[in-house]
A and B are shown apart, each in its own frame.
Chain A
Amino acid sequence: MKFMLMMNAPKGDGDWGVSKWSQEDLKAHIGFMKTFTSGLAARGELVGAEGLAMPAQAKLVRAGQDRRPITDGVFPESKEFLAGYWIVDVDSPERAYQIAAEASAAPGKGGQPLYMPIEVREVMSAPPIEV
């Protein structure tokens, strides 16, 4: 079964104040994410993973009367933002939760775990084969 693990950036500074971290903290965090994702791939659990560009680049789009796009900026201060996601293919929801917990404890400032909230959602699948 497939799950999407969504890493939401908190509202406010939007990125755990990452621009104020020390070089060592950044290095540890980046190293963790790399090892974490390549570990998922090595175990054959990784379907896909992407990090998203900063909310400052984000646009909110609606169709106008003429069906053409009307774009608005978004306000990173006012809401949580999807910062990135993993899609994993695992045998049980428990395994997906385990993976999410691992990601949640990624090191942050001073090497302390971030305890990020990771939203776990099952990916809808095709109907089962009739027997």
Chain B
Amino acid sequence: MTAASSQFAHENLLRELAPQVLGAVTRRFGDFGAAEDAVQDALLAASLQWPKEGLPDNPRGWLIQVAARRMTDHIRSESARRRRETIATTDPSLERDVAPRVGLPSLAAFVSSSGAAEGEPDDTLILLFMCCHPALTASSSIALTLRAVGGLTTAEIAKAFLVPESTMAQRISRAKQSIKTSGVPFSMPTPKERADRLAAVLHVLYLIFNEGYTSSFGSRLQRTEVSSEAIRLARALRNLLPDESEVAGLLALMLLTDARRPGRTGPDGELIPLDKQDRTLWNESAIAEGVALVSAALSKGMVGPYQVHAAIAAVHDEAKRPEDTDWPQILALYGLLKRMSDNPMVALNHAIAVGMVHGPRAGLDLLKTLDADDRLAGHYRIAAVRAHLLERAGDREAAIVHYRAAADRTTNSPERNYLLTQAARLAADGV
């Protein structure tokens, strides 16, 4: 093995072990926030030591041992500090809070038992449920999930999200504080809660994916790593919950969307729309995997929105040329989605599909009914869709006006550039 590939292997192993080790340490000491810091220390120590000294016989046990030692140090110094404070305040109630859940002397036994065992496979899942708890804001969940479950360092996460490291550190520590105050236990959600909690996990993973996917332009290219991490986490979740169709649906959606990434931007970082992309650049193996996943999930009969979105992505991905796209199929799928959720963006995409199947005028008629929706009022997407349909209907002047209006409203710079380019193209046609 070369030095580079062995380092890569070490990193992968560390990232995979991170949630298992964190699970074991949290289970033992009870304090998730402190355990999470201790595990980060252990991961750092391993990333420095292993490449030099070679992989230990039991990497998981090694990490647990180092993290547990950090925890013990932490608890000792905390209880010493609290003792001083307790003496000062003579408030006996404080002493009860500081006692660790289990006595310290059994540490050696704990390390050897949890190190030798296969580990609790559910720990990764419990951690996901915890980090994506609905009590947290989306940005907190995203940051905490990437660190606690993904094993990324604060610096890496900060870099990917283009914020200072201190900001990201603060976000993570606040997230841990929220978990502490909300009293979320380190355990599986009850069967009653489970569906809602799983939906929250899927939502956070999807947000992580989107964060990387929609912003991976130009100088922000490093953000593609964020999407890859979302895919890795979704894959791990799928291994843990192989029977959940929506988990498979989400993974398929990510793979099928990510497969188009190489064709999505031009040499200058400009956005290339689906019908203009060089489809030979698309990632065939990701498409094949995504299609297989979503087909298997749909055949189980528990159809949810992620599966339908994945199915739509699959129809696009399977068309060798834009004109081969099975629009009636896409229209039917958007119809299905519309019945599942009252999402204005779904309604908008439905209008596009109607325009493709029944002609641009039919799409424009449908858009008129959406103008009344407050959630879409003034949104650039409705102007962009209208411009596109007007162009197809042959109304060049109106299309230019709406492309420009959309460009003024979008807050995404590649998208703005794309819309301005469309307006410029039509204006040039008219000269």
Binding site for B on A (CB under 8 A): 18-23, 25-27, 30-31, 34, 37-38, 41, 46, 48-49, 51, 53-54, 56-57
Interchain CB contact under 8 A, A23 and B425: yes
Which A residues lie within 8 Å of B269 (CB)?
A: 30, 34
Surface stretch bound by A, among B73-81, B135-143, B415-423 = B415-423
Interchain CB contact under 8 A, A37 and B219: yes
Given the complex of chains A and B, what is the CA–CA distance between A41 and B413 in angstroms? 19
Interchain CB contact under 8 A, A23 and B268: no
Ranked 4 nearest A-B pairs via Cβ: A31-B268, A53-B411, A23-B424, A19-B404
A130 to chain B, nearest CB (A): 24
Interchain CB contact under 8 A, A26 and B219: no
Q: List 22 A-B contacts (CB under 8 A).
A: A18-B420, A19-B404, A19-B420, A19-B423, A21-B424, A23-B425, A26-B417, A26-B420, A27-B268, A27-B270, A30-B269, A34-B218, A34-B268, A38-B219, A49-B219, A53-B411, A54-B407, A54-B408, A54-B416, A56-B408, A57-B409, A57-B411
Given the complex of chains A and B, what is the CA–CA distance between A45 and B369 in angstroms? 51
Which A residues lie within 8 Å of B292 (CB)?
A: none
Which A residues lie within 8 Å of B417 (CB)?
A: 26, 30
Which A residues lie within 8 Å of B408 (CB)?
A: 19, 54, 56
Task: Known A-B contacts: A34-B219, A34-B269, A54-B416. Give 8 more (CB < 8 A).
Answer: A23-B421, A23-B428, A30-B268, A30-B417, A31-B268, A38-B218, A54-B407, A56-B408
A42 to chain B, nearest CB (A): 10
Interface size class of B (residues with CB under 8 A): 20 to 34
Residue of B nearest to A35 (CB): B268
Residue of A nearest to B423 (CB): A19
Given the complex of chains A and B, what is the CA–CA distance between A51 and B414 in angstroms? 11
Main secondary structure of the interface of A (DSSP, over half): helix
B254 to chain A, nearest CB (A): 27
Which A residues lie within 8 Å of B416 (CB)?
A: 54
Q: Does B44 contact A (CB under 8 A)?
A: no
Which A residues lie within 8 Å of B427 (CB)?
A: 20, 22
A41 interface neighbour in B219, B270, B404, B425, Cβ under 8 Å? B219
Which A residues lie within 8 Å of B45 (CB)?
A: none
Which A residues lie within 8 Å of B296 (CB)?
A: none
Residue of B nearest to A28 (CB): B268
Q: Does B240 contact A (CB under 8 A)?
A: no
Which B residues lie within 8 Å of A41 (CB)?
A: 219
Report if A26-B424 is in contact (Cβ < 8 Å); known contacts: A34-B268, A53-B411, A57-B409.
Answer: yes
Which B residues lie within 8 Å of A27 (CB)?
A: 268, 270, 421
Interchain CB contact under 8 A, A51 and B407: no
CB neighbors of A among B379-431 (8 A): 404, 407-411, 413, 416-417, 420-421, 423-425, 427-428
Given the complex of chains A and B, what is the CA–CA distance between A51 and B413 in angstroms? 7
Which A residues lie within 8 Å of B407 (CB)?
A: 19, 54
B165 to chain A, nearest CB (A): 13
A21 interface neighbour in B162, B268, B411, B420, Cβ under 8 Å? B420
Residue of A nearest to B270 (CB): A30
Residue of A nearest to B419 (CB): A19
CB neighbors of A among B261-280 (8 A): 268-270
B387 to chain A, nearest CB (A): 12
Given the complex of chains A and B, what is the CA–CA distance between A18 and B421 in angstroms? 10
Given the complex of chains A and B, what is the CA–CA distance between A25 and B268 in angstroms? 13
A48 to chain B, nearest CB (A): 7
Given the complex of chains A and B, what is the CA–CA distance between A20 and B401 in angstroms? 11
Given the complex of chains A and B, what is the CA–CA distance between A20 and B404 in angstroms? 9
Given the complex of chains A and B, what is the CA–CA distance between A57 and B407 in angstroms? 11
Which B residues lie within 8 Å of A48 (CB)?
A: 162
Interchain CB contact under 8 A, A22 and B424: yes
Which B residues lie within 8 Å of A34 (CB)?
A: 218-219, 268-269
Which B residues lie within 8 Å of A18 (CB)?
A: 420
Given the complex of chains A and B, what is the CA–CA distance between A21 and B411 in angstroms? 20
A31 to chain B, nearest CB (A): 4
Given the complex of chains A and B, what is the CA–CA distance between A30 and B271 in angstroms? 11
Residue of A nearest to B417 (CB): A30
Residue of A nearest to B414 (CB): A30
Given the complex of chains A and B, what is the CA–CA distance between A38 and B423 in angstroms? 27
Given the complex of chains A and B, what is the CA–CA distance between A40 and B118 in angstroms? 49
Residue of B nearest to A84 (CB): B413
Residue of B nearest to A47 (CB): B164
Given the complex of chains A and B, what is the CA–CA distance between A37 and B219 in angstroms? 7
Given the complex of chains A and B, what is the CA–CA distance between A57 and B410 in angstroms? 9
Which B residues lie within 8 Å of A56 (CB)?
A: 408-409
Which A residues lie within 8 Å of B218 (CB)?
A: 34, 37-38
Residue of A nearest to B217 (CB): A34
CB neighbors of A among B200-230 (8 A): 218-219
Given the complex of chains A and B, what is the CA–CA distance between A10 and B242 in angstroms? 57
B144 to chain A, nearest CB (A): 24
Residue of B nearest to A55 (CB): B408
Which B residues lie within 8 Å of A53 (CB)?
A: 410-411
Given the complex of chains A and B, what is the CA–CA distance between A27 and B270 in angstroms? 8
Residue of B nearest to A15 (CB): B408
B402 to chain A, nearest CB (A): 12
